[in-house]
Amino acid sequence: MEKNITNAAYLCFVKKNALMPNAIIKAARFKGDSMVHFIDMKDFDTNIITAVKDTLEFIKRHINMSVEIEQEPQRKEIWAYPLNALREAIINAIVHRDYTDHGNIQIRIFDHTLQIWSPGLLPPEINIKKLLSENRSIPRNKKLAQIFYNINLIENWGTGFHRIIDACLQKGLQKPFFEEKAGAFVITFFRGKIKEGLNDELNEGLNDELNEGLNEGLNDELNIGQNSVFKYIKQKSGKMAKNISEDLNMPFGTVDRHIRFLLKKNLIERRGSKKTGGYFAKS
């Protein structure tokens, strides 16, 4: 039997975390779609089991909720993002993050997206491009994973990402975006129902605001959707918008707006006829 308390036990059962500051979870609600103006922020320095519930409560205070009154006695609460998917993503970040990294888990809430940043990249055995086709659980923190498994917070089968996606699709939302950047694993949730065709055009102004605003400010980068389309065009030159829409599983109206933005920024160009031409990245 171990005489000294393990880091895993400390993180899971301490009342207030004073010894491992990188395990504190940071959450913030920003104005608009960039990290320029804070509306609210909170650090969660309790044990990481309690932090799951506390972090989710913070999120609930800063995302929209509507109510449907049906025939049942209780009202039905409809949140902007499915809470079960957010809970799964938070637990995933806590259990599988790299605790040798000095950074913190960050919950970034914007007007149109919500991001969960987890320090550390995926294990080298897991290819992010095959994240959903190759279900495999490789816990970086085995003792933490065992504790969370014992209290029924994880299942250790590597299906958490599928559950996150399914929860969003069942609500009619766009698939979350999984990526690795700046030494972290990032999940981005998108707010708003998927709309195509004419219905999609009704929200053009709102979505254009999102496309123009997300990630601007400090870095002036492309947003996630624009970057996905730009990378695709660089890798597969000459494709038409409908092909990009099909391959990226992204609504055609959304792809069209991203393309117009990239054309405006002079990052891509169209070559060929209207019927057979496609898009190319500018060197």
Is 73 a residue whose pLDDT tops 90?
A: no
Considering just the CA atoms, what is the radius of gyration of the chain in Å? 21
Q: 232: domain CATH number?
A: 1.10.10.10
Same domain, 185 and 74: yes
> What CA–CA distance (Å, rounded) separates 149 from 54?
20
Mean per-residue pLDDT over the chain, rounded: 83
pLDDT of residue 192: 76
Which residues have CB under 8 Å from 205's CB, separation 6+? none
Residue finishing a domain among 149, 171, 193? 193
Same domain, 18 and 105: yes
Range of the domain at 232: 195-283
Same domain, 29 and 83: yes
Same domain, 110 and 245: no
Same domain, 238 and 120: no
Q: Which pairing describes strands 76-79 and 38-44: parallel, antiparallel, or unpaired?
A: unpaired
**3-state class (DSSP) for residue 189:** strand
Same domain, 116 and 241: no
Same domain, 153 and 275: no
Same domain, 106 and 176: yes
Other Cβ atoms closer than 10 A to 223 = 21
pLDDT of residue 203: 38
Same domain, 124 and 98: yes
Q: 29: domain CATH number?
A: 3.30.565.60
Is 156 a residue whose pLDDT tops 80?
A: no
> What CA–CA distance (Å, rounded) separates 204 from 281?
25
Same domain, 135 and 232: no
Residue finishing a domain among 164, 193, 222? 193
pLDDT of residue 161: 87
Q: Is 272 left (phi over 0), alpha (psi -120 to 50) or beta?
A: left
Same domain, 121 and 54: yes
Residue finishing a domain among 152, 177, 193? 193
Task: Please report, for residues 23, 87, 149, 264, the alpha-carbon distance to residue 60 in angstroms, rounded to integers and kept in the order given.
Answer: 22, 11, 25, 37
Tokens 């979350």 sit on residue: 176
Domain count, the chain: 2
With contact defined as beta carbons under 8 Å apart, do 49 and 132 qualify? no
**78-93 residue pLDDT tens:** 889 999 999 999 999 9
- pLDDT (mean) for 123-140: 76
**227-267 residue pLDDT tens:** 889 989 998 999 999 889 888 877 788 888 899 999 998 99
Same domain, 40 and 152: yes
pLDDT of residue 238: 92
pLDDT of residue 134: 65
